Every structure is written in structure tokens, then in C-alpha cells.
Amino acid sequence: MPSSADIDIDYLIETCRLAGAAILQLYDGAIEVQLKADASPLTLADLRSQAIIAERLRQAFPEVPLLAEENAEQAPYEVRRHWRALWLVDPLDGTKEFLKRNGQFTVNIALIEGRRPALGFVYAPALGKLYYGGPELGAFRLEADGTRTRLPETERAGGPRRIVGSLSHHSPEMDRYLEEQRRLHGEIEFVQMGSALKVCLVAEGRADVYPRLGTTMEWDTAAAHAVASGAGRKLVRWGSAEELSYNKEDLRNDWFIVE
């Protein structure tokens, strides 16, 4: 069983890019949408991306099981609870943003060891940006031209408190949080963004905090959680100092905050 230290980073970067390229092939054409049981959208781009990722991970790491958004029902907890390590994958995070064609969708691949994210890759193919990292590796942003920047790139100092939130999942709880922040800090700046890019914005140092006061799944957060950890940030349960854990019986996350 490989550890995060044994992983070929370039192989995972190439895997993200191949999956992203498959998504972009469908980006400008007519997109057929199915609705899953939870009423969330599913497209051919989700399925093609997952097939590419699953095949490449199986080829390179046949001993590490895969848990992905579109195959979660095939991996009951009675089996998963014995896994010491696993790949946790969201082949197209932000399908709603993909359908809106605003570019704010990502390919997420995370290696989970001992219920914690050891390594994560978040690729935004329409933006040409790839974030990767982990608690032992550090965190980095890789541009389409090969420029690599260690994160955090900048530390927030002065100016209004910058809070990042969901573009497609706003809630009354978030409104109350923003009002409380205005009382505490005066002027605030609220930035709405899609997919795992919200966590990466905090990891870069371009936002102070990202609260998620609503439902997410483990595959939504694991890869960006690893990146945030590599950048010295914390992704913890709301009202707690405890970091999110993974491969739980219930794959839904608690509310959380990144800062």
C-alpha cells in the first residue's frame, strides 16, 4: 500500500488534465442532463471524467480502492471500513457551474490515509489552474504554462475581511453569518465562487475564511482539504477545532469552516 510520499505527483497531475480535457470536449456543445436520486445533475462529462480517473488509478495503484461520487453505492460501509487508504474522487465538482459555463468547476482527486486527506489535486480545466498538496508536501498552484507557485501566495493584511461562499447554494444561515461578521468586523467583502475553488481561495491567501453552512459530501472537500492543510490552513467542523474525517459510514460532511 503506497503512502503519500510514494505517489508520482506528475502522474496524478496528468490524470487530472486528461479528465479535464474530456470534460472540455463537451463544454461548448449541447449537454444532456440526468437527475440523480438526490435531484443533483449528472452529465456525460461526469461519467467520462470518472472513467478516465478510475482507469488510471487502477493501472498505477491497483491495491488502493476507489470511492467516487458516481460509484459510492457500490462500496458499502461494511467493505469500506476496512480500507486503510483509498482514493476519494469527484470527477466533476460543480456540475451546476459546468452547466452555467462559468468555468468554476473542478476535477478533485484525494488520497485518504487513516481517515485524513494525505494528498489532494483540484484542477479547474476551464481556468487552466491546478492546485495540489498535502500536510507533508506543502501546497502549490500550477498554471497552464507550467508556472508553479507555493501557497499561500499572499497573506491577507488590512482591508475588509474577505469571506468566500457558494455561488449556487446560498442559505439563510449564511446570511445570518455574514450579518454577524459585519457586526464584528465592520465592512466585509463577500466573494461567491463554485466548487472546491472556494477552499483553494483561502489556501492561496486570497480570502480569510470560507464557512460552509450546508450539506456537502466527502468527495466535495477531500482534495481541497489536503491543499488547505498543505498551505497551513485548517478545515474544521463548525463550532469545533476538529478537522473533517473521511470514509465515514455516512459520507455527508458536517458543516465546516476553512480559515
- The CA distance from 135 to 124, in Å, is 21
Residue pLDDT, tens place only, 171-193: 889 999 999 999 999 999 999 99
- Supply the CATH number for residue 169's domain: 3.40.190.80
136 in any annotated domain: yes
Q: Beta strand pairing status for 116-124 and 41-43?
A: unpaired
Last residue of a domain, one of 99, 120, 151: 151
**Largest Cα span, the chain:** 53
Are 109 and 169 part of one and the same domain? no
Nearest in space to 17 (alpha carbons), one of 59, 70, 56: 56
Nearest in space to 54 (alpha carbons), one of 14, 93, 81, 15: 15
Identify the residue with better confidence: 29 or 118. 118
pLDDT value at 240 more than 60: yes
Last residue of a domain, one of 98, 126, 151: 151
Confidence band of 127 (pLDDT split at 50, 70, 90): very high
**Structurally, how many domains does the chain consist of?**
2
Are 136 and 11 part of one and the same domain? yes
- The CA distance from 146 to 163, in Å, is 29
Are 31 and 135 part of one and the same domain? yes
Are 167 and 135 part of one and the same domain? no
Range of the domain at 41: 4-151
Are 143 and 171 part of one and the same domain? no
Last residue of a domain, one of 121, 151, 181: 151
pLDDT value at 41 more than 90: no
Confidence band of 257 (pLDDT split at 50, 70, 90): very high
Are 165 and 147 part of one and the same domain? no
Are 117 and 225 in contact, with CB atoms under 8 Å apart?
yes
156 in any annotated domain: no
Stated pTM of the model: 0.94
244 in any annotated domain: yes
- Supply the CATH number for residue 30's domain: 3.30.540.10
